[in-house]
Amino acid sequence: IECGRFGMAEPEYVARIQTALNSLLVHLQMAAGKAKQQHPIYIDKRSTVDSDFTGFFYAEVKAGQKIEKGKKLGYLTDLFGKHLADVFSPVNGIILYMTSTPPISQGENLFSIGHL
């Protein structure tokens, strides 16, 4: 199970995994209790957002966040901190995954966005 950033055990993500695993065990009748009702989203199309520059990327959104087309996702700077470009969402969607380390090379993937 992968959930969180930088391989760190953040309480918010640990709780999410615990809830999901408990619901799975209840559903499989391997544990007593009531499964938490989920409302899944079906995603059949996704877009990627790649970096136009080499430098540092600073995200202003989180994985799992719903976004609208044109929303600012973050910005790029050069190695000296000079602003190079803002990065915007090309579609309405939900952020499936994103780069979590600032150093980025031109052409590398910054985001994968599931279309909503």
**Which has more confidence, 71 or 2?**
71
**For residue 5, what pLDDT is reported?**
65
Ranges of each domain in the chain: 1-40, 41-115
The pLDDT tens digits for 30-80 are 999 887 777 878 899 999 999 999 999 999 999 889 999 999 999 999 999
Which class is 41-115 in CATH?
A: mainly beta
What the block records as the tokens of 82 is 């000079």
Q: How far apart are CA 66 and CA 115, in angstroms?
A: 10
Distance, C-alpha 60 to centroid of its chain: 11
E-assigned strand segments in the chain: 46-50, 55-59, 66-67, 72-77, 83-88, 93-98, 103-104, 109-115
Residue 111's φ and ψ, nearest 5 degrees, are -145, 155
Percentage of the chain beyond pLDDT 90 is 65
Residue 36: CB partners within 8 Å, gap ≥ 6? 19, 22, 23
pTM for this entry: 0.76
**In this model, does residue 11 exceed pLDDT 90?**
no
